[in-house]
Structure 1
Amino acid sequence: MTEILRYTAFSADPEGGNPAGVVLDASGLDEAGMLAVAAGLGYSETAFLTAPPAGLGAPEGRGFTVRYFSPKAEVPFCGHATVATAVALAERIGPGELVFATPAGTVPVSVTATGTDGDGTDGGGGLRATLTSVEPYVEEVGADDLAEALAALGWPEADLDPELAPRIAYAGARHLVLGAATRARLADLAYDFARLEALMRRLDLTTLQLVYRAGRDVFHVRDPFPVGGVVEDPATGAAAAAFGAYARELRLVPADAVLTLHQGEDMGRPGVLTVELRAGDPRVRVGGAGARIV
């Protein structure tokens, strides 16, 4: 029988963050079986692990092939399920370096114990995982596509933040980034599910990354996810990585920067995502806590 674990990502509290399914041994499942497990669980994504490909370059016993399924379809990459999986593995094989071969590319993940004893061992705290994205890109969004997105959201153009220009950003999956002019605009999310899903499928988007800038390096975000069969994703690591690339491309932050993203508050599942940018490295690092859901 397939063992399905349940973990939350981007929160040390099982009631916060974004829950994900984790199947540490999916060798007995085909694609239809993985989709059935994900649909039955009902979380926005479930991660399925099998043996690593040859030449992955991971430490012995710490490399894996990972596939991600929403209740409706496979997705190329999922940040919160990556964090959840890394925490689940670290509980079994210890903190340290992991390497995941994903459909989007190779994703290194580092797991550390919080509240450590100074030598990297757990001193009674939890676990924190930080993934390094594949190389990102940012591109323009067409005027007609933007107008359709705003119509599906029910947002007048005047509700956009002029300092946060609409863009499509990628760091393993594609996301349309839209800036809200006020926190109240971000909090009031009621959209046309079918209309937004149709647009997202046409543009090959995984979520919309709706953003309110609360400070120089602090943001509140929300992620509609109709293509995955859920109204909203509570904490979205792939979108956070894409947003990091977006913030760098638009020069919203310095070349070396650490951003804090708050997500899930409006859903009653608060989570915190840390986004790190390093000068000279195009990749984006996204980290957060994780915890098992009993």
Structure 2
Amino acid sequence: MTTNAPQPEVVRYTAFSDTPDGGNPAGVVLDATALDDSDMLAVAAELGYSESAFLTPSPEGLGGQEGRTYNARYFSPKAEVPFCGHATVAAAVALAERIGPGELVFSTRAGVVPVEVAQEGGTIRVTLTSVEPHIEEIADADLTEALAALDWPAADLDPAFPPRIAFAGARHLVLAAATRARLADLAYDFARLEALMHRLDLTTIQLVWRETATVFHVRDPFPVGGVVEDPATGAAAAAFGAYVREFGLVPEDAELTLHQGEDLGRPGRLTVTLRAGDPRVRVSGAGTRIS
């Protein structure tokens, strides 16, 4: 930590689950005013979670939310990322326990992210609205390298889902497996995939398998963050929502369910909502404190 800087209070929450042993855990620093970049990276590295959120109250009151607006930064154990969905959910749950549910605004390096927090019985649910997304093609050579690093034959991909890079706050390569067994068999070349992801500025690889018209199973390798796999990935879920809408794979108005973390023993559930005429994607899920 910076010389003479006070030790920050770090709270721990899991996102996209209502039980502490499910979903994706994140560290949250609710007041990171005294921390510089190296301090935040050190905290994230010590925690070892895929990402941690660092908030500072914003006096601007963006979106009319005076007193409920925060500058938010996100660090993995190895680097800062522009936006992290699960750490946003974790931070919003932590705030709701202290200042009550309602609307929040997070100003992130990817843009302004409105957040709604609701109390449903004994469960706190959070809905974040992504920045405006976009979809990019991936070069054939880069796709070949990604599949080689994953040790996935091209024949194991679902032809209904063309490989693309999707952005909704961070960049993710979307690859769809033709079978659940293919998705379950994940043993990739960490260094090789990490090198490709750095070159393409990717945050995760969004691996998906379609169970039904609106239900998907997903996994997210995250070597650039120093983590083999992210257990539940809100930013990738938002990017995937934009992706399936781009290719007309779901209706313009749709609610999708993404199951993630089952292969890691940390099951999580993410809800992705698409609204006709609104390019932004909403991602929802429960969250709870880790005791």
TM range (shorter): over 0.9
8 Å Cα contact 1:207-1:223 kept in structure 2: yes
Question: Which residue, out of 96, 99, 114, partners 1:93?
Answer: 99
Deviation of 1:114 after TM superposition, in Å, equals 1.1
Render the CA deviation track for 1:147-192: whole Å, top value 9, x for unaligned: 0000000000000000111000000000000000000000000000
The residue number in structure 2 matching 1:118 is none
The residue number in structure 1 matching 2:62 is 56
Name the CA distance, whole Å, in 2 between partners of 1:231 and 1:222.
11
Name the CA distance, whole Å, in 2 between partners of 1:255 and 1:98.
26
8 Å Cα contact 1:58-1:99 kept in structure 2: no
Question: Which residue, out of 252, 264, 268, partners 2:261?
Answer: 264
Q: CA-atom RMSD, angstroms?
A: 0.7
Name the CA distance, whole Å, in 1 between partners of 2:48 and 2:147.
28
The residue number in structure 2 matching 1:38 is 44
Which amino acid in the other structure matches residue 187 of structure 1? A
Which amino acid in the other structure matches residue 12 of structure 1? D
The residue number in structure 2 matching 1:160 is 157
**Alignment map for 1:244-283 (pairs within 5 Å):** 244-283=241-280
Render the CA deviation track for 1:53-86: whole Å, top value 9, x for unaligned: 6362342211000000000000000000000000
Which amino acid in the other structure matches residue 194 of structure 2? E
Name the CA distance, whole Å, in 1 between partners of 2:65 and 2:235.
24
Name the CA distance, whole Å, in 2 between partners of 1:284 and 1:59.
21
The residue number in structure 2 matching 1:109 is 115
Question: Which residue, out of 180, 192, 196, partners 2:177?
Answer: 180
Name the CA distance, whole Å, in 2 between partners of 1:59 and 1:224.
35
The residue number in structure 2 matching 1:122 is none
8 Å Cα contact 2:21-2:266 kept in structure 1: yes
Name the CA distance, whole Å, in 2 between partners of 1:53 and 1:265.
40
8 Å Cα contact 2:61-2:67 kept in structure 1: no
Ranges in structure 1 where 5+ consecutive residues have no aligned partner: 116-124
Deviation of 1:5 after TM superposition, in Å, equals 0.5
Q: What TM-score do the two structures reach when normalised by structure 2?
A: 0.97
**Alignment map for 1:72-87 (pairs within 5 Å):** 72-87=78-93
Question: Which residue, out of 7, 10, 19, partners 1:13?
Answer: 19
8 Å Cα contact 1:12-1:290 kept in structure 2: yes
The residue number in structure 2 matching 1:223 is 220
SS in 1 for 2:212: coil
Moved over 4 A (4+): none
Q: What TM-score do the two structures reach when normalised by structure 1?
A: 0.96
8 Å Cα contact 2:59-2:66 kept in structure 1: no
Name the CA distance, whole Å, in 2 between partners of 1:143 and 1:130.
36
Identity, in percent, stands at 77
The residue number in structure 2 matching 1:26 is 32
Name the CA distance, whole Å, in 2 between partners of 1:52 and 1:256.
34
